[in-house]
Amino acid sequence: MSDITVTKGAPPRFRSATEESPLARWAMIAAAVLGLGILVFAPLIAVFVEALAQGVAASLASLATRDAQEAIKLTLTIAAISVPLNAIFGVAAAWFITKFDFRGKAFLITLIDLPFSVSPVVAGLCIVLMFGTNSLVGGWLVANGYPIVFAMPGIILATMFVTFPFVARELIPVMIEQGRAEEEAALTLGASGWRVFWTVTLPNIRWALLYGVLLCNARAMGEFGAVAVVSGKIRGQTATMPTTIEMLYQEYLSVAAFSLAAVLALLALVTLLLKTALEIRHADQLAAAHRH
């Protein structure tokens, strides 16, 4: 066996047949990093750079103004009302769709998804036409002292429209996957309907529900197009954070606009952080598409 030569050092590395060459691999990684760097990271960094252009003190002072404070308060109030309402809708719709068999189910799901494919501006327009002073319903409501458009209810409706599918869309696939067996078992054992929901269904869907609420909230606080149409942008009354950012920016108050924008950008970062944490820790209880 003297013809076997022993190579010294590390054994030669073979490339697996299902891998690209190292050069192609690193070129693709570089393209991904560069692309995301320019497209995503740069705008994110720019928000904070512009906000702090005149120092932290100037930035904080602009956030302490009355307009900024009112805008933050209004945005928080709107999210606090519209997100729970959409969460209730999402749970009810997911329960109705996954626990019962009926005709037209696919059509109903399409209708629930509809707001995702309607432009936010068109959504706002729809609400103005439905509840504006010129419309039948809106005219009657205004005459009785309940204005919808250019007031808080209109902003809430517009926000709910654009965030409508978030929770339902997250829950439906999860609840389909979990089936009905556990609920049926609980019912057979004599549990009431509400008890089944609170002790069997809710614990199974809680992470998916949280995931949907998280995305719904991020969009609710940041919605601009639909809200711009229905709010009338009255300072201190119906100007939300995004519409206030627009007004400040158009008045060339760059630091004030970007400081408010930075607050929303921080919110977006927190949302992404929580979302990623949920995807890592509770992947098995989220909709299949998020399991990386």
Residues between 99 and 138 that touch other proteins (CB under 8 A):
99-103, 108, 110-123, 125-130, 132, 134-135
Q: With contacts defined by CB under 8 A, how many residues of the chain interact with other proteins?
A: 105
Q: Output the smallest distance, CB 58 to other proteins, in A.
A: 16
Q: Is 63 one of the binding residues for other proteins (CB under 8 A)?
A: no
Q: Which is nearer to other proteins, 39 or 64 (CB)?
A: 39
Q: Output the smallest distance, CB 92 to other proteins, in A.
A: 4
Q: Cα–Cα distance between 241 and 247 in angstroms, integer?
A: 10
Q: Cα–Cα distance between 162 and 203 in angstroms, integer?
A: 28
At position 227, the amino acid (one-letter code) is V
Residue selected from 52, 61, 67, 197 as contacting other proteins according to rule CB under 8 A: 197
What would the DSSP string read from start to end of 130-199? HHSTTSHHHHHHHHTT---TTSHHHHHHHHHHHHTHHHHHHHHHHHHHH-SHHHHHHHHTT--HHHHIII
Q: For the window 216-235, what string marks contact with other proteins as x by the rule CB under 8 A?
A: --xx-xxxxx--xx------
Q: For the window 30-49, what string marks contact with other proteins as x by the rule CB under 8 A?
A: -xxx-xx-xxxxxxx-xx--
Q: Which is nearer to other proteins, 77 or 271 (CB)?
A: 271
Residue selected from 142, 265, 278, 286 as contacting other proteins according to rule CB under 8 A: 265
Stretch that binds other proteins, among 6-14, 58-66, 97-105, 171-179 (CB under 8 A): 97-105
Residue selected from 59, 155, 164, 213 as contacting other proteins according to rule CB under 8 A: 164
Give residues 267-286 in contact with other proteins (rule: CB under 8 A): 268-269, 271-273, 275-276
If you ran DSSP here, which 8-state letter would residue 283 be given?
A: G
Residue selected from 52, 77, 95, 282 as contacting other proteins according to rule CB under 8 A: 95
Q: Output the smallest distance, CB 140 to other proteins, in A.
A: 14
Q: Cα–Cα distance between 2 and 267 in angstroms, integer?
A: 70
Q: Output the smallest distance, CB 10 to other proteins, in A.
A: 20
Q: Cα–Cα distance between 215 and 223 in angstroms, integer?
A: 12
State the CB neighbour count (10 A cutoff) for residue 3. 4
- Whole-angstrom CA distances from 157 to 108, 136, 183, 226 are 20, 17, 34, 10
Q: Is 203 one of the binding residues for other proteins (CB under 8 A)?
A: no
Q: Output the smallest distance, CB 16 to other proteins, in A.
A: 9
If you ran DSSP here, which 8-state letter would residue 199 be given?
A: I
| 218 and 210 Cβ atoms separated by less than 8 Å | no
Q: Is 249 one of the binding residues for other proteins (CB under 8 A)?
A: yes
Q: Output the smallest distance, CB 272 to other proteins, in A.
A: 5
Stretch that binds other proteins, among 63-71, 169-177, 203-211, 212-220 (CB under 8 A): 212-220
Q: Cα–Cα distance between 210 and 223 in angstroms, integer?
A: 20
Q: Output the smallest distance, CB 194 to other proteins, in A.
A: 8
Q: Cα–Cα distance between 228 and 39 in angstroms, integer?
A: 26
Buried b (16+ CB within 10 A) or exposed e, 173-206: bbbeebeeeebeebeeeebeeeebbeebbeebbe
